[in-house]
Amino acid sequence: MNLIETINNKISKRNTYGMREEIAYNRGYIISWSNACKRWNIGYYQIKKNEIINLDANQIFVEARKNDIIETLDKLNELPLYNNSYEAKLKIAN
């Protein structure tokens, strides 16, 4: 499975609100969905191996190099929760 498929698989599971805790089994970065921009963004700092991270519903931890993640951002699926957002409803109305 390539990186885009791996991330999209994680995205598809983000269909409920609330915080969750994950363990970073390898180094990586957190990507976050922005409803206002309707896009994924990458965090500034690297998550270390074995670090415990708290993620919100719009965040996903990706085990990959920063440049590899950046190349995928525009190719990723929308967050499933976006369709229920205020911003999505505004775009539909316009």
pTM for the whole structure: 0.87
User: What is the pLDDT tens value at each position of the chain, 94 positions in all?
Assistant: 799 999 999 999 998 899 999 999 999 999 999 988 899 999 999 999 999 999 999 999 999 999 999 999 999 999 998 766 556 555 555 5
In angstroms, the CA 71 to CA 86 distance is 28
The pLDDT assigned to 37 comes to 87
Report H helices in 1-94.
3-12, 66-72, 86-93
CB 60 within 8 A of CB 10: yes
Residue matched to tokens 């190719």? 75
